[in-house]
Amino acid sequence: MDIVKKLIIKIISAEARWALRRWRARVVGITGSVGKSSAKEAIAMVLESRFRVRKSNKSYNSEIGLSLAVLGRTTAWRSWSGWICNIAQGLQEVHTKHPPEILVLEMGVDRPQDMDRLLGIVRPDIAVITAIGELPVHVEFFPDAEDIAREKSKLARQLAASGWAVLNADDPIVHTMKEKTNASILTYGFSDSADLVASNYKISKDGIALKVDYKGASVPVRLHEVYGKQQAYAALATIAVVTLFDMNLVEAAQALHRYKPLPGRLRHIEGIKNSFILDDTYNASPLATAAAFDVLQELPAKRKIVVFGDMLELGKYAIEAHQKVGTLAKFADYLITVGPRAKFAAESAVASGMTQKNVLWFATAQEVASFLKECTKENDMILIKGSQSMRMERVVEEIMAHPEQASELLCRQDDYWKNKK
């Protein structure tokens, strides 16, 4: 089985490399611990108004995922006939008469040498590095957090002198990468030291608004039903990238009006009893969790509930990271934790001053869903977050006002995930 899998990866990766040599498309590669998918979606959406663009499907950012993204194919999961079809259609795509002019690709790092494998398939012309933070996701598979940053920085290091590194100036680790590349540098952020500077950030239930200044020009940016500074950073990265394709600030800001977050990325879902669900169930890391808490704190609501599932792949940092989450969650009216690691968050929240009766623990997402169906009150605001394996989207599905829309609005709704326990 492993031999066949490796052979499939080898064939499809070879097709992707062949296609890239033939097409000569410009490539935007995106990495970081948070914000990759949001930046990818926003960048591709704005560029599509002018160019033929192909982007990574969903969060295809592994070796096989990247190759499938280049070829415009999707995973066949465990279907051998599906993979054979992918190989055949990938070969056809290599010779297409209308190839993409721009590829916008996620490049994920889970383990050491992952970036090397991805760079063996594609060498981006533009590298976007979103944010890494002090304790990145997947740290379990690296000696320490610095090694993850070093692995991700290879994307900037490989750039030719003619390329561009688009870096988040507000993330200290990312900002130092400007010293590690021969490419031109374009930085973005809320810091005055950035090239593309955001200010006047505001958040409400309607979404976020900010002002962007670049090279003496200024433009207001408004994103409807989009929440949090992480999404503001996606907008900033987008504006930075599209200026490299000769699009102006006004054009970019107007196109961003259409941007909507992917399922499970701080997306507003209408809940039972007129509750306001912030669905952030796609995955969880310490940095992303803190960002989600900031959103919940900033939005007005009579009663705020945090539903928090385990963060995985943190290795030796797991207990400390979950305890920190508990401390950060003390602003909430209720903290509901799910999974063995999240118990540390519950204990820390109580130690930080939350009332014991307002901090609960459950073993599974299904148990939480049953509890919330009974206890949700009118106009509650409920943030739901957890790592992928915790399947926290099941909680959202049980308490959303229109569960018939789950396949459209929630993450992990294809047959593979629906059939997985």
Contact present, 385 and 305 (Cβ < 8 Å): no
d(CA 71, CA 63): 13
Angle of helix 63-71 relative to helix 2-23, nearest 10 degrees, comes to 40
* 73 in a structural domain: yes
Q: Do 139 and 200 have their domain in common?
A: yes
pTM (2 decimals)?
Answer: 0.94
> Can you tell me which residue has the tokens 């952020």?
189
Residue 138 lies in a domain: yes
> How many Å apart are CA 341 and CA 319, to the nearest integer?
7
CA–CA dist 141, 144 (Å, integer): 9
Domain that includes residue 215, residue range: 2-256
CA distance 314 to 298: 28
The total number of structural domains that make up the chain = 2
Low-confidence ranges of the chain (pLDDT < 70): 1, 136-138
261 within a domain of the structure (yes/no): no
Is beta strand 26-31 parallel, antiparallel or unpaired with respect to 102-106? parallel
Structure tokens at 217: 């020009």
Q: Is position 340 within any domain? A: yes
CATH number at residue 170: 3.40.1190.10
Which of the listed residues 214, 233, 256 is the one where a domain comes to its end?
256
**At 307, which CATH number?**
3.90.190.20
Looking at the fold, whether 224 and 119 belong to one and the same domain comes out as yes
154 and 285 housed in the same domain: no
234, 310: one domain: no
Query: Which helix H or strand E contains 10, and what residues bound it?
Result: helix 2-23
Angle at 134 between CA 133 and CA 135, to 5 degrees: 95
Domain boundary (222, 256, 290) is at 256
Judge contact between 167 and 232, C-beta under 8 A.
no
Question: Could you give the CA distance from residue 214 to residue 100 in angstroms, rounded to a whole number?
Answer: 29
If asked whether residues 286 and 150 sit together in one domain, one would say no
CA-closest candidate to residue 389, choices 279, 311, 292: 311
Q: Which two tokens stand for residue 149?
A: 């940053």
Same domain, 364 and 244: no
Both tokens of 361, joined, read: 């623990």
Q: Tokens standing for 330?
A: 């003390």
Is 281 found in the same domain as 201? no
Residues in the chain: 421
In a domain, 279, yes or no: yes
Q: Is residue 380 part of a domain?
A: yes
| Rounded Cα distance, 354 and 402, in Å | 32
331 & 227 share domain = no
8-38 pLDDT, tens per residue?
Answer: 989 999 999 999 999 999 999 999 999 999 9
- pLDDT score at 1: 52
Residue 262 lies in a domain: no
The answer on 293 and 212 residing in a single domain is: no
Domain boundary among 256, 281, 315: 256
Structure tokens at 345: 């968050």
- The structure tokens 């590669």 sit at 29
- Residue 197 located in a structural domain: yes
266 residue type, one letter:
L
Q: Are residues 38 and 184 in the same domain?
A: yes
> Is residue 48 domain-shared with residue 10, that is, in the same domain?
yes
> What pLDDT is recorded for position 15?
97
Looking at the structure, tell me whether residues 188 and 296 fall in a common domain: no
As given in the structure block, the two tokens for residue 366 are 């299904």
Give the Cα separation of 338 and 343 in Å (integer). Answer: 7
pLDDT of residue 420: 83
